[in-house]
Structure 1
Amino acid sequence: MNQTTLGYAYVLAAATQWGMIGPFARLAFDQGLTPLEVAFWRAAVGGVLFSLHALVIGQYRVQCRDMPIFALFGLVCVGVFYGSYQKTVDLGGASMAAVLLYTAPAWVALLAWLFLKEQLGWMKLLALAMTLVGVFGVSLGPDGLAALRQGAWNLKALGFGLLSGFTYALYYLFGKKFLGRYTAATLMVYALPIGALALFPWVDFQPKGLTAWAALGVLGLVTTYGAFLAYCAGLRRLEATRASVVATFEPVVAASVAFVWWDERMGALGLLGAALIIGAVLVMVRIGSGNGQP
């Protein structure tokens, strides 16, 4: 197997692992755990694994002056992000959570225009418009236009889903503006424990059986740490643009597994909305590759 093919395989493996976040979270919910407890354990288990990883490779030192930024990064990009994502899974399903997470590139374009003075050209505006229309379609759920006529939108799930996309987008802004000199592994060493500590006061811990612990273990080991290793291995063999395209397989995995395990359905308009959101991501990837006009 050549290196390019291996790179695609690694990124596909990462996308598959990320796509399992929602399904395994739902499995934990079925065992009586709350969304915030699931978010806490995902951050805590991931934090332990990344700490061991950083100690082994010697990438754990940071400058004291950067610790407040690390604290804010962990609070927002782990605590709020992980919590809002799990709330979306709980209220709207794994499919909706995975799709709305992919509003992040649109948020990045908007925030970079506002705060980093990056251009917002016609292709980015097209991607933003596609994202907005896509979010509208996804928000209607499986009932489609009937939900619109009845005013039965799942607004809580939509709100938490957009919040997860927004806080995920902040990874880019924090990394570019403040933390670009650190590796992703070093960021996670501090961000995950800080995020777990931020979630801790809000968690109502429940007794857990073997199935619950197994689901939490998968979320920490596979969907957090394992996906990170696979994606980094892919990036060493592929251009970032190609890796970004392959990573859009994530919501496909989430929707497919959710359909098989729980018969989750998005409906025709929901699927169309999901396609528009993923299409908007691909437009943003094209801009980033330099093949399109910004």
Structure 2
Amino acid sequence: MNASDRWRPILALIVLSSIWGYTWVLAKHGLEYSPPFAFAAERCIGSAAALFIALRLTGRKLTLTAPGATLGIALTQVAGFMIFQTWALVEGGPGKTAVLIFTMPIWTLLLAWPILGERVRGTQWIAAACTLIGLLLIIEPWEMHGGLLSPALGLCAAICWAIGTILVKRLRGQTPVDLLTLTAWQMALGSIPLVILALVVPERPTDWTWSYAGILGFMAVFSTALCWWLWIYILDRVPAWEASLSVLGTPVVAILSSRLTFGEAFKSAEVAGILLIGGGLALLSLLGWIASRRPAVAAINQRLQEEKA
């Protein structure tokens, strides 16, 4: 991977983290109009529709490749993740318990090593430690009081996301699958359990207004369709553990946007966590840039040696 190719995933991560971070603020507003499970189902249905429209507009085939693997990704990274995330939101609200889903880098690290053979090496451990410690400072698990159900559901959402991440990496390593097609089909298949759950669970009806339509449209097209595609694009180009750590920019953006939007005060632990995550992500980017420069430097040194000879 040359230097320019290296910066494309970084740019994708910046866009993804910015949109996903602000999505937490929009989700709070969206839940004023729609109940949680219906909101999740409507969001994913709209996302699947947008992705299939994009497939048609770009002239791609709609053929489902590797149906078994795609179904596994859909059930874990779409249905499982959305169900447990929404359930955690219902049980504990949009506070610290729901943010536990961002422990997904820990589970991805644990799974990627034995399954994919992706290991954290050398200085990379410093970047990993900075981001994970920063995450702990933001979540503040020592401040969690009350029942354990909501935190457990948040952890289940994180594990589902991590399993889906590993399945995507393994599928891309075994089968040439178009990224946009894969995203569209996983979203369509993952929407089915969400629709069933929204119909089965007793909830108030959705209050369809122009404001809610705007929120749902943004979350379906940008927060879900675009960002899920960007996530698979990133996974296709960097190790699973690195991608998962890098997406920790999302809770940073979520906290910043929430504090600025609702006028909430920053806590010292949150500020320290934001700085640690930012430092860890910067170190990851620096290490990636250095790694991308090594082949070019080696080629120059070899050419100089040949000229001297």
Check the 8 A contact 1:17/1:222 in 2, yes or no.
Answer: yes
Which entry has the higher C-alpha Rg, 1 or 2? 2
Check the 8 A contact 1:108/1:172 in 2, yes or no.
Answer: yes
State the alpha-carbon separation in 1 of the partners of residues 150 and 279 from structure 2.
22
* CA distance 1:264–1:14, shift in 2 (3 Å): same
State the alpha-carbon separation in 1 of the partners of residues 156 and 93 from structure 2.
14
Q: Which residue of 1 aligns with 2:75?
A: 75
Check the 8 A contact 1:105/1:284 in 2, yes or no.
Answer: no
State the alpha-carbon separation in 1 of the partners of residues 63 and 140 from structure 2.
47
Q: Tell me, which stretches of 5 or more residues in structure 1 are unaligned?
A: none
Return the letter of the residue paired with 1:74: A
Q: Within 5 A, what are the aligned runs for 1:55-204?
A: 55-56=56-57, 57-63=59-65, 66-87=66-87, 91=92, 93=94, 100-121=100-121, 123=123, 126=126, 129-130=129-130, 133-140=133-140, 147=143, 152=145, 155-180=148-173, 181-203=176-198, 204=203
* CA distance 1:34–1:13, shift in 2 (3 Å): same
Check the 8 A contact 1:96/1:138 in 2, yes or no.
Answer: no
Return the letter of the residue paired with 1:81: F
Q: 1:20 aligns with which of 3, 19, 22?
A: 22
User: Secondary structure, in 3 states, of the residue corresponding to 2:117?
Assistant: coil
Mean Cα displacement is larger for which, 10-19 or 275-284?
Answer: 275-284
* Aligned-pair CA distance for 1:156: 4.6
Is it true that 1:206 corresponds to 2:201 in the alignment? no
State the alpha-carbon separation in 1 of the partners of residues 136 and 252 from structure 2.
19
* CA distance 1:160–1:275, shift in 2 (3 Å): farther
* Percent of residue pairs bearing the same amino acid type: 18
State the alpha-carbon separation in 1 of the partners of residues 160 and 264 from structure 2.
25
Q: Within 5 A, what are the aligned runs for 1:232-243?
A: none
State the alpha-carbon separation in 2 of the partners of residues 96 and 284 from structure 1.
27
* Aligned-pair CA distance for 1:46: 0.4
Q: Which residue of 1 aligns with 2:307?
A: none
* CA distance 1:105–1:84, shift in 2 (3 Å): same
Q: Which residue of 1 aligns with 2:222?
A: 222
* Aligned-pair CA distance for 1:163: 3.4
Residue by residue over 1:25-59, the C-alpha shift from the partner in whole angstroms, topping out at 9 and shown as x without a partner, is: 1111122x232222211111000011111223214
* CA distance 1:289–1:74, shift in 2 (3 Å): farther
TM-score, with structure 2 as normaliser: 0.69
Return the letter of the residue paired with 2:223: T
Return the letter of the residue paired with 2:42: W
Mean Cα displacement is larger for which, 116-125 or 76-85?
Answer: 116-125
* Aligned-pair CA distance for 1:247: 6.2
Return the letter of the residue paired with 2:47: G
TM-score, with structure 1 as normaliser: 0.72
Mean Cα displacement is larger for which, 191-200 or 159-168?
Answer: 159-168
Q: Which residue of 2 aligns with 1:29?
A: 31
State the alpha-carbon separation in 2 of the partners of residues 11 and 281 from structure 1.
11
Check the 8 A contact 1:19/1:250 in 2, yes or no.
Answer: yes
Return the letter of the residue paired with 1:262: F
Return the letter of the residue paired with 1:114: P
Return the letter of the residue paired with 1:216: L
State the alpha-carbon separation in 2 of the partners of residues 124 and 154 from structure 1.
36
Residue by residue over 1:155-208, the C-alpha shift from the partner in whole angstroms, topping out at 9 and shown as x without a partner, is: 555434433333333343112212442122111211112111111222146232
User: Secondary structure, in 3 states, of the residue corresponding to 2:206?
Assistant: coil
State the alpha-carbon separation in 2 of the partners of residues 271 and 89 from structure 1.
24
* Alignment length (residue pairs): 272
* Aligned-pair CA distance for 1:260: 3.0
Check the 8 A contact 2:38/2:206 in 1, yes or no.
Answer: no
User: Secondary structure, in 3 states, of the residue corresponding to 1:93?
Assistant: coil
Return the letter of the residue paired with 1:26: K
Q: CA RMSD in A?
A: 4.0
